[in-house]
Amino acid sequence: MITPIIYEEGLVRLLDQRKLPLEEVYIECRDHYQVAQAIRDMVVRGAPAIGITAALGVCLGANTIPASNFNDFFSQLNPVIELLANTRPTAVNLFWALERLKEVVLQNKGLELHSLKQLLVQEALKIMEEEKSANEAIGRWGKELIKEGDQILTYCNTGSLATGGIGTALGIIKTALWEGKRIMVWVSETRPFLQGARLTTWELRQCNIPHRLITDNMAGHLMQKGEVSMVMVGADRIAANGDVANKIGTYTLAVLAKEHKIPFYVAAPTSTIDSTIPSGHQIPIEERAPQEITYIMDRRIAPEKTEVTNPAFDITPHQYIQAIITEKGIIRPPFSFIL
Ligand code: MRU
């Protein structure tokens, strides 16, 4: 089992996903500053994993607060939460997890601060366990959509590395294979951070799941030749109307899939649903450093001073989505996640 996030007393250990698949090394975070930096730098990534890590970051931050009464503690905890909230803007799991920890504090004002800090750790670990169970339920629901012989195109990394459990889209694929279904996975490399080429191939190899790596621009050609029978992706935030923010390039795949009458599925836990926003237009899209595009593995590939645009996510409008698979079941259009 791949374990991307480990909590030990006063310490968060993160499998450094920037180094995979060449090196399997963990970094150690001892305070919330280090956790925030690790999320920003994509040591850990994937919506559910970001949420879990941020929750543990709050626990490390809480331990550094010397306050002796609740009001002092709470006013010093707020900047800790704010620092973690300002790491990455798109995946809603981050804000959802931080909100849960804040709520625990507010609901337990009367407790001794020592006990309150312990309660925060319990809540963060509970979030981690809940995400694991959600993955398994998503796998159970989603496997029914997969037929013998399917050739499934997936994008980015939605597996253990991104969730701490078996994964969302990848969890469905794993569950179908464990049930004995014969399937093949097309892994799109996912420029610029290469989550597909570096991480998804690494996970699928460990699970002995047949797969082939392609560059992102090959998807249309394979669909045209009838070699893709479904697209299965994850999500970073789902709006009330079912619009989905996911890794940049997801929208392109959705449009291609529609053109070729190939079902396009999104798998995500309900912690990824943001029912406070009506549509994808309100989802903030993270812009990342130009170097992610102008360099590959520390080697410059574009002339110096080349101007770059690097949005990390895009929005797939709900009309392109056949179904959203959550731990609660398979949801089909019209989508309406109560506002
Ligand atoms: O920038 P990343 O690697 O954090 O983006 C991850 C994705 O877009 C995933 O598809 C999404 O978080 C779902 S992971 C279960």
Domains in the chain with CATH codes: 5-136 (1.20.120.420), 139-331 (3.40.50.10470)
Q: Which residues pair with 287 in a beta bridge?
A: 311
Catalytic (active-site) positions: 236
The CA distance from 5 to 192, in Å, is 24
Name the residue at shortest CA distance from atom 10 of ligand 1.
Answer: 234
Does ligand 1 lie within 6 Å of residue 46's CB atom? yes
270: DSSP letter? G
Could you give the 3-state DSSP secondary structure of residue 104? helix
What confidence score (pLDDT) does residue 339 get?
58
Task: Choose among 182, 164, 174, 165: nearest CA to 142.
Answer: 174
Does ligand 1 lie within 6 Å of residue 134's CB atom? no
Single pTM value for the model = 0.97
State mean pLDDT over 46-70: 97
Q: Do the Cβ atoms of 266 and 335 come closer than 8 Å?
A: no
What confidence score (pLDDT) does residue 89 get?
98
Q: Write out pLDDT tens, residues 106-119.
A: 999 999 999 999 99
Name the residue at shortest CA distance from atom 6 of ligand 1.
Answer: 46
Does ligand 1 lie within 6 Å of residue 47's CB atom? yes
The CA distance from 127 to 292, in Å, is 31
Could you give the 3-state DSSP secondary structure of residue 276? coil
Residue 53 has, within 13 A of its CA and on its CB side, a CA count of 38
Mutate to test the pocket of ligand 1, among 132, 195, 271 (most ligand atoms within 8 A of CB): 195
Does ligand 1 lie within 6 Å of residue 162's CB atom? yes
What confidence score (pLDDT) does residue 338 get?
82
Q: How confident is the model at residue 297 (pLDDT cuts 50, 70, 90)?
A: confident
Q: Write out pLDDT tens, residues 3-44.
A: 999 999 899 999 999 999 999 999 999 999 999 999 999 999
Tokens of 40: 């920003």
Q: Which atom of ligand 1 is nearest to the CA of 45?
A: 4
Residue 265 buriedness (CB in 10 A; 0-12 / 13-18 / 19+): buried
Could you give the 3-state DSSP secondary structure of residue 299? strand
